[in-house]
Amino acid sequence: MHIPDGFVNAGTSLAVGGVALGTVGVALRRTREVLGERQVPLAALTAAFVFAVQMLNFPVAAGTSGHLMGGVLAAVLVGPWAGALCITVVLAVQALLFADGGLTALGLNVVNLGLVGALGGYVVFAGLRTLLPSGRVSVPAAAGLAAFASVPMAAAAFTIELAIGGNVDVAIGDVALAMLGTHVLIGIGEALITTTAVGAVLAARPDLVHGAAADDVRLELRPAVSTSVG
Amino acid sequence: MSAIPTPTERRGAGSRLWFLGLAVTLLLAVVASSYASDDPDGLEKVAADEGFRASAEDHDLAASPLSDYAVEGVADDGVSLALAGGLGVALTLLAGGVVFWTARRRSAPDRLP
């Protein structure tokens, strides 16, 4: 379940919606700088993949399930800005066609999953990559750890939104604790799925993984190989 | 076939991978979705436990034919979910394609294909 209408009041939803709109605007501009024509199908498929996996709720605790958020997954595959757009497209399809996630709450969900989850998660990923030793394992490992962190990060963002503009009469401290606790568990699932998916694409076509592009590529000049003719 | 893949071969390999990815995606949405947990997710559970679940308003578009991942008019729940999943993948692919096509980098005409 994404945030439905009614949890957060109209004013806060609108303000956060403005932030969401701004984020999408920047994401579109930045994506234009880097996304070549040939990468369009991959980006679109990444969005579709996130949609599919978000349908797969997995149990995390008694009576509670979680589902993939997909922000770090998308960001590592197609870059942070295109990744944020992937998440936004998924959320829009879900809210407009599947009644999953409120309409006035769409901005909240875009900020939490797209800005905090994808972009914020990518910042964590990039930071981890500078810390981890370089090598084939570092990309999926960093992606997994960043994915793990991104889920409670998004949960914290919701808690802040609820604290600022909640339409509800609750003890925010209790909510914060409960949200973080649950979403740390869900983060484990997110990490496993993200590591697996990134690892799979990396094994098949590492050039398709944006997050691996920073790897040092050493080019050597070699003498031309002579070919025997006839 | 040479040891070093030609650009055409690499493009072919890329397409194959894309279709494999699409197949996996559809498998997940159409088949695996039936096995998903029915328990409320983290947000819903916390909302219920902390007493604000009921504040959720009905969705403005709850009358949508795909509302709640069920296809209106399809009697069997399993088929309904599978169909909704498949349609969702297709629609997201389409929407994503439109967004990313319009957001793509426009460059000078390629010197080489």
Whether the Cβ atoms of residue A66 and residue A186 lie closer than 8 Å to each other: yes
- Closest in A4, A28, A100 to B103, CB measured: A28
* Residue-wise DSSP of A197-228: HHHHHHHH-GGG-GGGTTS-------PPPP--
Mean pLDDT of A161-170: 90
In 10 A of CB B57, how many CB atoms?
A: 14
Mark yes or no for CB contact B42/A182 under 8 Å: yes
B113 pLDDT more than 90: no
The answer to whether residue A37 neighbours chain B at the CB level (below 8 Å) is yes
Rounded to two decimals, what is the model's pTM?
Answer: 0.90
A219 pLDDT more than 70: no
Mean pLDDT of A175-184: 94
Q: Can you tell me the distance from the alpha carbon of B38 to that of A25, in angstroms, rounded to the nearest whole number?
A: 36
Q: Which of B74, B84, B54, B31 is nearest to A94 (CA)?
A: B84
Partners of A61 in the β-ladder: A64
Partners of B40 in the β-ladder: none
Computed over every residue of chain A, the mean pLDDT equals 92
Angle between helix A80-97 and A10-34 (nearest 10): 130
Q: Can you tell me the distance from the alpha carbon of B104 to that of B113, in angstroms, rounded to the nearest whole number?
A: 17
Q: In Å, how far is B75's CA from the nearest CA of chain A?
A: 18
- Closest in A35, A49, A89 to B95, CB measured: A89
- Closest in B22, B41, B84 to A65, CB measured: B41
Q: In Å, how far is A131's CA from the nearest CA of chain B?
A: 31
Confidence of residue A18 (pLDDT cuts 50, 70, 90): very high
Minimum mean pLDDT range among A66-70, A166-170, B16-20, B21-25: A166-170
- Closest in A52, A97, A175 to B28, CB measured: A52
Computed over every residue of chain B, the mean pLDDT equals 88
The answer to whether residue A207 neighbours chain B at the CB level (below 8 Å) is no
Residues in A closer than 8 angstroms to B105, CB to CB, are 32-37
Which of helix, strand or coil describes residue A187? helix
Which residues are within 8 A (CB) of A212 and not within 5 positions of it... i.e. 6 or more apart?
A139, A202, A206
Mark yes or no for CB contact A35/B37 under 8 Å: no
Instruction: Kindly report, residue by residue over A129-157, the tens digit of the pLDDT.
Output: 999 887 778 999 999 999 999 999 999 99
pLDDT of residue A156: 96
Higher pLDDT, residue A223 or A86: A86
Instruction: Kindly report, residue by residue over B60-102, the tens digit of the pLDDT.
Output: 898 899 999 999 888 888 999 999 999 999 999 999 999 999 9
A220 pLDDT more than 80: no
User: To the nearest whole percent, how much of chain A has pLDDT over 70?
Assistant: 93
Residue pointed to by tokens 């960093």? A142
First-to-final CA distance of chain A: 69
pLDDT of residue B112: 60
Q: Which of residues 119-158 of A touch B (CB under 8 A)?
A: 155, 158
Q: Can you tell me the distance from the alpha carbon of B84 to that of B91, in angstroms, rounded to the nearest whole number?
A: 10
